[in-house]
């Protein structure tokens, strides 16, 4: 089946776009993997999930752009798109993701600091009543134990 040059250019551009998408997916995966520092088995599973996602993206773009017919220039387009991402966009995306992680981490610690003040005040308010209740309960159980010890010889002698 012969395709016009325009159709081939569209297929090539779709493949370059697919390569950029693969690079972006890889960038997100690498970011998550670097943040959480998984062990060997989890990294292996993550790699398999990445390659499964890459396969789905690749096959869907090949199917939509050229009705499932794989052409050599499509493979070159995927490679070109991935290289474009890694050389030009990868650093920018990584910087943005690291900035986002830094912002979320700072926001989390700020919220924790803001919550510590009221929790400390509440703890100080509730400390005295809770301590009093704890003391009374302990004394009550101690008295119950002493009373039970009085009747222990009577129970042993009933045999």
Beta-carbon-side half-sphere exposure of residue 69 (alpha carbons within 13 Å): 11
Q: Answer whether 24's CB lies under 8 Å from 88's CB.
A: no
pLDDT at 159 over 70: no
Q: Is residue 65 part of a domain?
A: yes
Domain count, the chain: 1
Q: Is residue 158 part of a domain?
A: no
Domain encompassing residue 117? 5-127
* Cα of 153 vs its chain's centroid, Å: 63
Distance CA 9, CA 41 (A): 42
Q: Is residue 75 part of a domain?
A: yes
pLDDT in tens, 104-155: 999 999 988 888 888 788 777 777 777 888 888 888 888 888 888 887 777 7
Q: Answer whether 57's CB lies under 8 Å from 21's CB.
A: yes
Q: Is residue 114 part of a domain?
A: yes
Beta-carbon-side half-sphere exposure of residue 84 (alpha carbons within 13 Å): 15
Q: Is residue 139 part of a domain?
A: no
């Amino acid at each position: 089946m012969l395709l016009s040059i325009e159709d081939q250019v569209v297929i090539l551009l779709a493949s370059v776009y697919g390569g950029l998408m693969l690079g972006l997916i890889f960038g997100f995966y690498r970011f998550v993997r670097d943040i959480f520092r998984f062990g060997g088995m989890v990294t292996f599973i993550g790699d398999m999930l990445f390659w499964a996602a890459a396969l789905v993206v690749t096959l869907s773009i090949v199917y939509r752009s050229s009705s499932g017919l794989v052409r050599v220039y499509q493979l070159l387009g995927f490679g070109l798109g991935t290289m474009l991402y890694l050389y030009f966009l990868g650093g920018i995306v990584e910087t943005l993701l690291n900035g986002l992680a830094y912002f979320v981490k700072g926001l989390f610690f700020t919220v924790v600091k803001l919550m510590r003040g009221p929790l400390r005040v509440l703890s100080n308010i509730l400390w005295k009543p809770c301590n009093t209740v704890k003391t009374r309960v302990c004394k009550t159980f101690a008295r119950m134990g002493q009373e039970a010890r009085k009747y222990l010889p009577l129970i042993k002698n009933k045999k």
